[in-house]
């Protein structure tokens, strides 16, 4: 099977430009996203919930969630279904359910998703460096 880019660079550029337009301070989240990938899908997914509901972090939460949504869409194109239930941080039952679904993903599919998410976040970091003002 040949490597497919799935337009990750283009997706990342759009995500960064959208984040910059809303709130330039959100751009620093790309670096945090890249670091968070190493901790797994569950933790990456949950980060938007941690930021949710905090007025100062609403744009950061949106950036994390949009990145997750793009990962889900790309993986679907690749034939891997990643759960993406709508969840609010104050709904503990829904949070637990979604986390459990993520833990149940086939290990090979998890590895592929992590590899794609890593590349997407690398692209986010690259575009962030291009658009961030010194």
| Whole-number average pLDDT of the chain | 92
Q: Where are the domains of the chain?
A: 8-129
pTM across the whole model: 0.93
8-129 maps to which CATH number?
Answer: 1.10.520
Residue 90 banded pLDDT, cuts 50, 70, 90? confident
More confident residue, 44 or 89: 44
Cα–Cα distance, 72 to 82 (Å, whole number): 6
User: Among 43-47, 116-120, 129-133, which stretch is predicted with the lowest mean pLDDT?
Assistant: 129-133
Centre a 10 Å sphere on the Cβ of residue 130 and count the other Cβ atoms it contains.
9
Q: Can you tell me the distance from the alpha carbon of 100 to that of 94, in angstroms, rounded to the nearest whole number?
A: 10
Write out pLDDT tens, residues 45-56.
Answer: 999 999 988 888
The answer to whether residues 120 and 73 touch, using CB atoms and an 8 Å cutoff, is no
Interior/surface letters 64-89, b for 16+ CB within 10 angstroms, e for the rest: bbbbbebbbebbeeeebebbbeebeb
Q: pLDDT above 90 covers what percent of the chain? A: 81
pLDDT band at 2 (very low <50, low <70, confident <90, very high): low
Contacts of 36-40 with C-beta under 8 Å, sequence gap 24+, read 37/114, 37/117, 37/118, 37/121, 40/110, 40/114
Distance, in Å, from the CA atom of 37 to the CA atom of 54, rounded to the nearest integer, reads: 23
Residue 68 has a pLDDT of 98
37 in Cβ contact with 117 (< 8 Å): yes
Going by C-beta distance under 8 Å and a sequence separation of 6 or more, which residues neighbour residue 79? none
pLDDT at 1 over 70: no
Instruction: Tell me the pLDDT tens digit for each residue of 29-87.
Output: 999 999 999 999 999 999 999 998 888 899 999 999 999 999 999 999 999 999 999 99
- With tokens 């990962």, the residue in question is 71
């Amino acid at each position: 099977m040949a490597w497919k880019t799935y337009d990750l660079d283009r997706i990342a550029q759009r995500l960064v430009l959208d984040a910059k337009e809303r709130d330039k301070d959100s751009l620093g989240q790309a670096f945090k996203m890249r670091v968070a990938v190493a901790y797994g899908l569950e933790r990456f997914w949950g980060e938007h919930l941690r930021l949710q509901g905090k007025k100062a972090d609403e744009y950061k939460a949106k950036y994390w969630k949009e990145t997750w949504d793009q990962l889900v869409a790309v993986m679907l194109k690749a034939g891997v279904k990643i759960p993406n239930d709508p969840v609010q941080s104050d709904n503990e039952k829904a949070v637990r359910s979604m986390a459990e679904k993520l833990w149940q993903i086939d290990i090979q599919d998890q590895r592929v998703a992590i590899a794609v998410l890593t590349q997407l976040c690398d692209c986010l970091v690259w575009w962030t460096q291009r658009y961030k003002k010194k």
